[in-house]
Amino acid sequence: MRPVDTNADQIPLVVELSAAEFRDRLQEALAIYVAAMGYPRGTEYHRAPMWTEHVQRSGWCGVGAVVPADPSTESDAVDRLVAVAYGYRGAPEQWWHQQVRTGLRHTGWTLDRIDTILDDYFELTELHVHPDAQGHRLGETLLLRLLDRRPERGVLLSTPEVADEDNRAWRLYRRLGFTDVLRHFRFAGDNRPFAVLGRNLPLGRSLSAGL
């Protein structure tokens, strides 16, 4: 793992994860996902093959936050992963891409407009901070790190709809200038309504610049 933020006073440490490191820490990453989303135990078994396949996609990039082991307290101490995020370049053969395209068509977007948004984007696929570590801008740090120096024109993500956009994920995305692409959208096989949000890249541009 290559440290990204190396300030010794900052714990946890934000690190880039190579594909191999991500695979090695897959169970830890999935445990964070299940705890953060409040999903029933066992969900991780269904997700494991999907996350494993995602790593192979073009433009995959992953980051994590680890609490370094304290060697003075435990002889066999190991770093503890407390947050994880990844994404990759969106492409027409991907299920998520096809779902969003269908959703946009049903919403009345013209093909030109759809192509403009879907022909060059990074999909922010997962972003999760363990509940014990939430509320300290760790999610924001991971997201900024992941989107830093991306070559794509924009970034898209989906997040569950919540009343009044009142949760940390929504506040984070709005704070960083994500705007509505699709609202109350139902992905095939899932009854929950989702929002698809997006913004232009790079993030350095005006944070109010939606897609």
Ligand X SMILES: CC(C)(COP(=O)(O)OP(=O)(O)OC[C@H]1O[C@@H](n2cnc3c(N)ncnc32)[C@H](O)[C@@H]1OP(=O)(O)O)[C@@H](O)C(=O)NCCC(=O)NCCS
Give dist(CA 155, CA 150) in Å, integer.
Answer: 9
- Strands, sheet with 61-67, edge to edge from the N-terminal-most edge strand: 2-3, 13-17, 61-67, 80-89, 121-129, 154-160, 194-200, 179-185
Give dist(CA 85, CA 63) in Å, integer.
Answer: 5
* Closest residue to ligand X: CB criterion: 139
- 173 annotated active-site: yes
- Min. distance of Cβ 52 from ligand X in angstroms? 20
Please say which residue, 13 or 129, places its beta carbon nearer to ligand X.
Answer: 129
SS3 197: strand
- Min. distance of Cβ 104 from ligand X in angstroms? 19
Please say which residue, 105 or 210, places its beta carbon nearer to ligand X.
Answer: 210
User: DSSP code of 56?
Assistant: T
Residue 126 amino acid letter: E
**Contact assessment for residue 198 and residue 155, using Cβ atoms and an 8 Å cutoff:** yes
Give the max Cα distance, the chain: 61
Please say which residue, 35 or 116, places its beta carbon nearer to ligand X.
Answer: 35
- Min. distance of Cβ 144 from ligand X in angstroms? 9
Q: Give the interface with ligand X as residue ranges (CB under 6 A).
A: 36-37, 127-129, 134-140, 159, 168-169, 171-172
Please say which residue, 77 or 135, places its beta carbon nearer to ligand X.
Answer: 135
- Min. distance of Cβ 123 from ligand X in angstroms? 12
Catalytic positions: 173
